[in-house]
Amino acid sequence: MLTDAEIARSVTPRPITEIAASLGYTADETECYGKYKAKVPVTGGDRRGKLILVTAMNPTPLGEGKTTVSISLADGLKHIGKSVALALREPSLGPVFGIKGGACGGGYAQVVPMEDINLHFTGDFHAITSANNLLSALIDNHIHFDKIPRLKEVTWKRCMDMNDRALRVVEVGLGGKVNGVPRTDGFVITAASEIMAVLCMASDFADLRKRLGDIVVGYAEDGSEVTASDIGAQEAMAILLREAAKPNLVQTLEGTPAFVHGGPFANIAHGCNSIMATTAALAHADYVVTEAGFGAELGGEKFLDIKCRKTGLAPSCVVLVVTARSLKFNGGVAKDDTQAENIAALEKGFANVKRHLNNLKSFSQRVIVAINRFASDTDAELDSLKRLCRECGAEAVLCEGFAKGGAGAVALAEAVARECEAPAPAITFPYSDDDSVTDKIVAVAKKIYGAGEVVFEDTAKENIARIESNPAYRRFPVCIAKTQYSFTCDATQLGAPDDFVFTVRDAVVRAGAGFIVAVSGSIMLMPGLGRIPNAEKMTIDPATGVIDGLM
């Protein structure tokens, strides 16, 4: 059986100029980065396309294949004659070299050039990292020269696009006055930087520039906020992001256009690709398949509660990706035993899917379940899974995109297209813009996660009070940072726990992004590498440059 990398290398992509032209971009509008990658302009105007959101059950170590399903669904829509484009996130080097590996799909459902996209791509992540750390340098320079307004407390963190737990807390300015003023600092991963969120929430470059200036970097001696514009950082950061703001265009193995732009994680950020890329796709295709990170209670909730709330976007259909083996894992079967048939465990683990279905219906969404088929799935298991979905009022469709590409997702594409015939339903949100920050967090924790009690630690209470003292933030949505593996704060609690205690330990305003991050449990904004990271398994042939182990 061919590896993902071997499959990707076996296909010669079309020139990116042809892909861009198929969407209506002129040669002058297509800025090529080699033969198979391009930047395209931010597009305003009509959003003619129908938006399809792909989300999933809670992830497990087995992998649910959400990106693979997204890509094969887009290819499947192309197979049935639809004008279609993808709108996905860019991979972060942290997971690529960590435990997850690449993020370009798999098998015969990939976006290419896979190796370029997974590594440096068009340099967007590096530009975001540079803009973030330029702001950090300007902050410390501001403190060193005792400029007005005088910073008493710095809340801004440095960043890098790598998992490195040793950088979570650092001391800077050591070694005498010539090196600056000593203080405690720290790093977050680039995907968790507010610059990333600003890029993904901005409607155009002018909006991005304004949002950069709104970023809160700390507090002055009188307790007032100090922003990036207060220390003169806004224009320089915008200059660094001039090219990064333009959406990237690539393609699937089958030549379906793919806008791949922005890369916030859904467990520690809002988990959606850029608004600029989504609207560009909607302006150039009749159907747009997009993906939100991790499970529907994280990326899916944030897509609806943050991205859609702030833009007026609304999905015509939501696809919930499930796998039989992940259901068995949620039903208590050990990872190594999930290939064996176990209908009882599958039915027990279905509680996780059932809650996600109920949650999506509470947003008034129309949902189709995509069963991402694996070779070990038995007919009895698949029949049981389809029955359970029917009992919840949801249609379940097999997807074999990994093995067959778009041809393996035609049935799913046909089901999605039928749902998209009706106008997109209005979204019913779990909280209103006018609710307090505390009430918004409680609403998500109780209505979406299933918590019985929400406990706010002292730091969270203090920071929420400080945030709510500014009237400009009272209508901000909340973005909850929590483990992706469970509805709870505890990654080991699988299935669909009820009436648990949900603990919020901190809250931070992201004024540039336009939302408030509530940090729960032990989640970290700078991940660490596992005992055997993916980086240790990779090889490169010095003669040919061929990489193995990236996916």
Are residues 409 and 307 both part of a single domain? yes
Q: Can you tell me the distance from the alpha carbon of 1 to that of 41, in angstroms, rounded to the nearest whole number? A: 40
**How many alpha carbons lie under 13 Å from residue 350 in its C-beta half-sphere?**
21
Domain assignment of residue 119, yes or no: no
Segment 285-322, tens digit of pLDDT: 999 999 999 999 999 999 999 999 999 999 999 999 99
Are residues 372 and 412 both part of a single domain? yes
Are residues 371 and 500 both part of a single domain? no
Sign, CA torsion 330/335/337/341:
positive
Omega cis (within 30) before 113 = yes
Cα→Cα distances 533→99, 163, 549, Å: 5, 10, 11
Q: Can you tell me the distance from the alpha carbon of 499 to that of 16, in angstroms, rounded to the nearest whole number? A: 51
Classify strands 151-154 and 216-220 as parallel, antiparallel or unpaired: antiparallel
Domain assignment of residue 87, yes or no: yes
Give residue 5's pLDDT.
86
Are residues 295 and 329 both part of a single domain? yes
Domain assignment of residue 266, yes or no: yes
- Contact 297/85 with Cβ under 8 angstroms? no
- Contact 249/40 with Cβ under 8 angstroms? yes
Are residues 270 and 368 both part of a single domain? yes
Q: What are the DSSP calls for 444-493, one per residue?
A: IIIIII--SEEEE-HHHHHHHHHHHTSGGGTT--EEEE--SS-SSS-TT-
Are residues 289 and 221 both part of a single domain? no
Rg of the Cα atoms in the chain: 23
Domain assignment of residue 15, yes or no: no
Q: Can you tell me the distance from the alpha carbon of 519 to that of 63, in angstroms, rounded to the nearest whole number? A: 25
Are residues 188 and 320 both part of a single domain? no
pLDDT band at 44 (very low <50, low <70, confident <90, very high): low
If phi > 0 it is left, if psi is from -120 to 50 it is alpha, else beta; for residue 262 that is: left
Segment 442-485, tens digit of pLDDT: 999 999 999 999 999 999 999 999 999 999 999 999 999 999 99
Domain assignment of residue 4, yes or no: no
Domain assignment of residue 546, yes or no: no
Domain assignment of residue 66, yes or no: yes
Segment 259-292, tens digit of pLDDT: 999 999 999 999 999 999 999 999 999 999 999 9
Which CATH number does the domain housing residue 133 bear? Answer: 3.30.1510.10
Which CATH number does the domain housing residue 347 bear? Answer: 3.40.50.300
Cα→Cα distances 104→33, 71, 88, 413, Å: 18, 9, 9, 20
pTM given for the model = 0.96
Q: Which residues of 388-415 are buried (b: 16+ CB within 10 A; e: fewer)?
A: bbeebebebbbbbbbebbbebbbebbeb
Cα 413 to chain centroid, rounded: 23
- Contact 84/281 with Cβ under 8 angstroms? no
Q: What angle do CA 245, 247, 253 make, to 5 degrees?
A: 150
Cα→Cα distances 128→93, 160, 241, 244, 340, Å: 13, 9, 7, 8, 45
Average pLDDT, the chain: 96
Question: How many other C-beta atoms lie within 10 A of the C-beta of residue 26?
Answer: 10
- Contact 284/541 with Cβ under 8 angstroms? no
Domain assignment of residue 361, yes or no: yes
Segment 190-234, tens digit of pLDDT: 999 999 999 999 999 999 999 999 999 999 999 999 999 999 999
Are residues 95 and 71 both part of a single domain? yes
Domain total in the chain:
3
* Residue ranges making up the domain that contains 140: 124-240
Last residue of one domain, picked from the residues 370, 391, 419? 419
